[in-house]
Amino acid sequence: MESKLIQIRQEPLSKPDWIRVKLPTQTQYFELKNLLRKSNLHTVCEEAACPNIYECFSRNVATFMIMGDICTRYCHYCHVKTGKPTALDSAEPEHLASAIFSLGLQYVVITCVTRDDLPDGGACHFVSCIDAIRAKVPSCAIEVLTSDFSYNDAALACVAAAAPDVFSHNIEAPRRIYRQVRKKGKYEESLRLLHLIKELNPSLKTKSGFMLGLGETDDEIFEVMADLRMIGCDFLTIGQYLQPTLKHAAVSKFYHPTEFEKFVSFGKELGFLHVEAGPLVRSSYRADKLNSHL
């Protein structure tokens, strides 16, 4: 089963008409890229080849990726580089806060590469970034999109105590195919992590997301949605998986926009406060919409 899922497809499925990417036509896109380079900051928008980068950059929205641009894990769906990361930049929290202040952002998403080389997985660095933003731009809402910290409860407790407005951790895929695309992750443990963060800080809103097109069935999609609501997850994103290169997992199916509407309706019935779903939706796509629920 696994070999079929992650096989290299020599002739990938042709992208349908509804998979469209906007080209950069606004000056904000280039201004934001220049600011990021000057501040030595990274965005997951760039590193993961997000299809919405032009739209989001043009709206002065970005998901900042802290702790470098090299991940210690390889996942079969991810475009971020894998290897040996560099040491943490102690000036990064201040650079990040200054960039957010310069851009006038009122909602920011901070994510990271997975850092299994660090005892706490980078949890303390997350806290430093949250503290720096709160000191520089107190009006800015903060969403953190974290790794699993190797399921280290003490590391998770540090982030919970820093009280970001939204804590996000992506489930990524249904239970049956989870380990086939994310070998070092654990479906049940990721659910437990999202449940534990609520216990550690009940005021936190939680969020998760997953991809479609990796060989799942509709029943499995409904199951993961129900699992997330069962542990109190507030927000959900569902998007179409797009194969970054021929070395990555092949796309099994391109879902039509009307199918995503079906999942949005089901999510509302389950009680999610907000569900963002569509072919080009990614975990932080239009995350600023969540401001109204905070």
Give CA angle at 46 (44, 52), nearest 5°: 90
| CA-based nearest residue to 170, from 109, 83, 89 | 109
- Nearest-angstrom CA–CA distance, 109 and 101: 14
> Exposed, middle or buried: residue 214 (CB in 10 Å: 0-12, 13-18, 19+)?
buried
Backbone angles phi, psi at 211, to 5 degrees: -110, 155
| CA-based nearest residue to 147, from 291, 290, 56, 283 | 283
Q: What are 26's two structure tokens? A: 């606004």
> Exposed, middle or buried: residue 37 (CB in 10 Å: 0-12, 13-18, 19+)?
exposed
pLDDT, one tens digit per residue, over 220-241 is: 999 999 999 999 999 999 999 9
Q: Model pTM?
A: 0.85
Q: Which amino acid is at 149?
A: F
Q: Are 248 and 204 in contact (CB under 8 A)?
A: no
pLDDT the model gives residue 185: 84
pLDDT the model gives residue 20: 67
pLDDT the model gives residue 32: 65
Among 36-45, 88-97, 224-233, the minimum mean pLDDT is found in 36-45
- Nearest-angstrom CA–CA distance, 275 and 287: 11
CATH, domain 2-6+26-289, list 3.20.20.70, 3.40.50.300, 3.30.70.1290, 3.40.640.10? 3.20.20.70
pLDDT, one tens digit per residue, over 152-200 is: 999 999 999 999 999 999 999 999 998 888 878 899 999 999 999 999 9
Mean pLDDT (the chain) is 85
**pLDDT value at 22 more than 90:** no
Q: Are 138 and 106 in contact (CB under 8 A)?
A: no
Answer positive or negative: Cα dihedral of 194, 55, 39, 114.
positive
Backbone angles phi, psi at 145, to 5 degrees: -115, 100
| Cα 270 off chain centre by | 22
- Nearest-angstrom CA–CA distance, 197 and 115: 20
pLDDT, one tens digit per residue, over 234-284 is: 999 999 998 888 888 889 999 999 999 999 999 999 999 999 999 988 877
Neighbours of 154 (CB within 10 A): 10
Q: Are 103 and 60 in contact (CB under 8 A)?
A: yes
All structural domains of the chain with their residue ranges: 2-6+26-289
pLDDT the model gives residue 42: 65
pLDDT, one tens digit per residue, over 63-84 is: 888 998 899 998 877 778 889 9
